[in-house]
Amino acid sequence: MSKRVQHPFGSLAADIPSSIVVFLVALPLCLGIALGSNAPLFSGLIAGVVGGVVIGALSGSHLSVSGPAAGLTAIVVAAIAKLPSFEAFLASVVIAGVLQLILGYLKAGILGDYIPGSVIKAMLAAIGLILILKQLPHLIGYDADYEGDETFLQPDGSNTFTGIFKSLNYVVPGAALIGLLSLGIQIVWEKYIVKQAKFLQLIPAPLVVVLIAVGISQFFISSNSSLALPAHALVNIPKADSVQEFFTFFQFPDFSHLTNYNVWIVAFTIAIVASLETLLNIEASDELDPYQRVTPTNRELKAQGMGNLLSGLIGGLPVTSVIVRTSANVNAGAKTKMSAILHGLLLLLCVALIPTLLNLIPLPALAAVLIYTGFKLAKPSIFIKFYKRGWDQFVPFIVTIVAILLTDLLKGIMVGCVVGLFFVLRSNFKSAVFIVNDDNNYLFRLRKDVSFLNKPIIKRNLAKVPEDSYVLIDATRADFLDKDVIEVIEDFMISAPLKNIRVELKKSAHKAQGFNPANETN
């Protein structure tokens, strides 16, 4: 790998355009997740800034982008309802950050290494499908479900699929026009226009989409057209009339609630869920990285801990690594962590200095950006690739996708891991015992780890050996033999003479100790 890729300032030509794309993706998500969490809108923006600048600087990941996460929304909603005040909730976020720092120093980051690769790739494809399905209503101006929701059962009473059909009854013509046009612009820009001149590659398609969408929207308004967008179809950032008023948007934790048992319960819940979600997303971001760089997971937990600590101190929501922002970052061509840091700075400066201009951005245009990002994560070629790899890879891949679509990210991943573990055990079960026979000559070859799960097949096949046969039991390739398996073999060797069966056992002295009967060979 070149030094240019490694150095944070060596790839600004790629990272600056990428940061703009991530900024445009993060803006509605920060607001939407805050809205869905029943928290102040500005708290989502604070979390986005901290996730970009602080965690981006401290993390060892080159491409991961952090911010408020949809996976924590249900936890935050319940916590805010349960605790005495939002300030008490902020105290829980600060404590959660400290707990994550402790987890980092305890090297808990190793847990992420045990997630099967097929499950990680399934998570990426599932997120892609969720982006497409969840953003379709926003594309046509129906905003009953908040931006950034990833759960199957939506707060508005619908689910992912019924929400799409329901939205067809509430189409906003101007929004649908801008949304579909924005989608088309991205496709044409990336497939054809950027190939016409090299300098065009420095202009991200989402920026072009937003500028054109704002122009169309303002034209509708100035011409008093019936296609003018309603307020709910536009970005809605809190505006301050003065510097003093801007700083009133920041809130601070009330540590007088530290004696409240529920504050600590919420803190531990946030710390555990946020850490698990981060580790999953870090694995996914490393998978997406075209340079295949590896993120130090323990350092990531420490960075997330510092991020949550600071976010809680200044009034922000809890943060995690977020795969939607990360995938947008990768697809936009980012090379180093400067993209994440710059996106956080853009959020801060634009929210502080030009909120009025940001509030002109149509949400359907941003929905189109997310849909296009989702398509890149869930291309048909990915499904074909896993199908060709065989059922032991394809089934966990598909099951994980379906589970995530029908539940949420963490539950779906757990289902995927269980299915993946089943196929690992199944593969080991099949390959651990090899049986072949030629007339009355039988070979039982024991390989790798022979556990009690293999006992029935060994016992059943030994019982089928006819009289006057020769049986060779080869245990030289076994790394482990369960004592139940050894007992079955010993019992067979004792009873074999009754059927005039000659048995020979080959074992490696350092691998298959424990056999006592005669007729064995080292």
Let me know whether 146 and 251 are in one domain: yes
> Half-sphere exposure of 330 toward its Cβ, with a 13 Å CA cutoff?
27
Residue 295 confidence (pLDDT): 94
Domain count, the chain: 2
Q: Which residues pair with 477 in a beta bridge?
A: 447
Establish if 412 belongs to a structural domain.
no
CB-based contacts of 2, cutoff 8 Å, min separation 6: none
The predicted model scores a pTM of 0.83
Residue 512 confidence (pLDDT): 45
Establish if 274 belongs to a structural domain.
yes
Task: Please list the pLDDT of the chain residue by residue as tens digits (522 residues).
Answer: 444 455 667 789 899 999 999 999 999 999 999 999 999 999 999 999 999 999 999 999 999 999 998 889 989 999 999 999 999 999 999 999 999 999 999 999 988 877 888 888 999 999 999 999 999 999 999 999 999 898 999 988 899 999 999 999 999 999 999 999 999 999 999 888 988 877 788 889 999 999 999 999 999 999 999 999 999 999 999 998 888 999 999 999 999 999 999 999 999 999 999 999 999 999 999 999 999 899 999 999 999 999 999 999 999 999 999 999 999 999 999 999 999 999 999 999 999 999 999 999 999 999 999 999 999 999 999 999 999 988 888 999 999 999 999 988 888 989 988 888 887 777 666 778 888 998 899 999 998 788 877 888 889 899 999 999 999 999 888 888 888 889 999 999 999 999 999 999 988 654 445 565 555 544
Let me know whether 225 and 109 are in one domain: yes
Let me know whether 269 and 193 are in one domain: yes
**What tokens were used for 430?**
């099949």
Select from 209, 203, 204 the least CA-distant residue to 184. Answer: 209
Handedness of CA 94, 97, 99, 101 (dihedral sign): negative
CB-based contacts of 438, cutoff 8 Å, min separation 6: none
Q: Which helix (H) or strand (E) holds 520?
A: strand 520-521
Let me know whether 482 and 342 are in one domain: no
Establish if 424 belongs to a structural domain.
no
Full domain range(s) for residue 155: 11-381
d(C-alpha 270, C-alpha 268), whole Å: 6
Select from 70, 73, 63, 213 the least CA-distant residue to 131. Answer: 70
CB-based contacts of 16, cutoff 8 Å, min separation 6: 339, 342
Residue 517 confidence (pLDDT): 55
Establish if 411 belongs to a structural domain.
no
Whether 91 contacts 259, CB under 8 Å: no
Establish if 387 belongs to a structural domain.
no
Q: Which helix (H) or strand (E) holds 521?
A: strand 520-521
Let me know whether 132 and 202 are in one domain: yes
SS3 344: helix
E strand map for 133-189: none
Whether 55 contacts 169, CB under 8 Å: no
Backbone angles phi, psi at 184, to 5 degrees: -65, -40
CATH classification of the domain holding 482: 3.30.750.24
DSSP track, 274-298: HHHHHHHHHHHHHHH-TT-----HH
Let me know whether 200 and 80 are in one domain: yes
Amino acid identity, position 246:
F
Let me know whether 285 and 358 are in one domain: yes
